[in-house]
């Protein structure tokens, strides 16, 4: 689909997250976010077994000394995942299989999450004597609240796609094998929306837990000023009165040429 980029987590058999994979994911997200020809990014897993079963535990054995895990794995992963979470471009996670540990941390960086009906989602890190350490604690809590995040992360037991939908952790359930189709349907809707306004809206929502109400008010007003004075808004108003579908992408292409 024009304007939709797909990032695939590809580390068979279960797409385990290594430091190198996390860095590659972050670098790809940062690069895609600079491209005017990319309007939506879908993140999915290679194969059919897993979106990602979490971190490659083999990496842990060499990182158990003071400061080693943080500096060699966790901080680089935090930086990489933040690149995905902070994209102005809308993102969709398409969960095609199990989504555990670091896999859930990656999915939680995305704006929308589609999970196939058979998918289990969880944060089992506590069973290894650790906890989600690359943003999963706060990103999952922001989606589902403290109580449910603690249930997932303190007990370490997975939840079904149906439970995840009820909790607000995911946005859509797809039939088995249809996760990418549903994600692409959502991407098509987003591609018809005004890209600048999408990014501005994301920036205000994402600041919800970081700023007090007064600061959020100013952030929202500043973003609204940019939206209302944009070519996108002019096109939306024109199309409304003309009873036509707005062509926001053409408007932006014309503005940047």
Beta bridge partners of residue 53, listed in sequence order:
none
Residues 100, 16: Cα–Cα separation, whole Å: 10
Q: What is the DSSP letter of 74?
A: I
Catalytic entry in 105, 116, 232, 235: 105
Name the phi and psi angles at 58, rounded to 5. -60, -25
User: CA nearest 220: which of 53, 166, 228, 87?
Assistant: 228
105 is catalytic: yes
Tokens of 189: 């809707």
Whether the bond into 88 is cis, omega within 30 of 0? no
Euclidean distance between the first and the last CA atom of the chain, given in angstroms as a whole number: 23
Annotation says 125 is catalytic: yes
For the record, the structure tokens of 56 come out as 């490659």
Q: Show the tokens assigned to 177.
A: 């094998």
In the set 116, 125, 232, 235, the catalytic residue is 125
CA atoms within 13 Å, Cβ hemisphere of 50: 21
Show which residues are catalytic. Answer: 105, 125
């Amino acid at each position: 689909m024009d304007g939709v980029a797909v990032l695939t987590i590809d580390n068979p058999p279960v797409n385990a997250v290594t430091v190198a994979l996390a860095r590659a994911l972050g670098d790809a997200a940062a690069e895609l976010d600079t491209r005017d020809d990319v309007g939506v990014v879908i993140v999915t897993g290679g194969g059919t077994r897993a979106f990602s079963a979490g971190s490659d535990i083999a990496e842990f054995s060499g990182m158990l000394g003071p400061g080693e895990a943080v500096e060699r794995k966790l901080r680089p992963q935090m930086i990489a995942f933040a690149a995905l979470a902070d994209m102005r471009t809308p993102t969709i996670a398409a969960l095609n299989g199990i989504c555990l540990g670091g896999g859930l941390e990656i999915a939680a960086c995305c704006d929308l999450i589609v999970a196939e009906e058979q998918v289990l989602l969880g944060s089992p890190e506590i069973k290894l004597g650790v906890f989600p350490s690359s943003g999963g604690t706060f990103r999952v809590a922001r989606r589902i609240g403290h109580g449910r995040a603690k249930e997932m992360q303190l007990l370490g037991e997975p939840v079904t796609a149906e439970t995840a939908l009820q909790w607000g952790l995911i946005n859509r359930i797809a039939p088995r094998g249809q996760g990418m189709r549903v994600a692409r349907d959502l991407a098509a809707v987003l591609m018809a929306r005004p890209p600048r306004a999408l990014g501005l809206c994301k920036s205000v929502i994402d600041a919800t837990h970081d700023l007090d109400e007064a600061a959020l008010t100013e952030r929202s007003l500043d973003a609204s000023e940019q939206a209302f004075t944009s070519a996108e808004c002019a096109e939306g108003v024109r199309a409304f009165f003309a009873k036509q579908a707005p062509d926001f992408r053409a408007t932006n292409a014309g503005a940047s040429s």
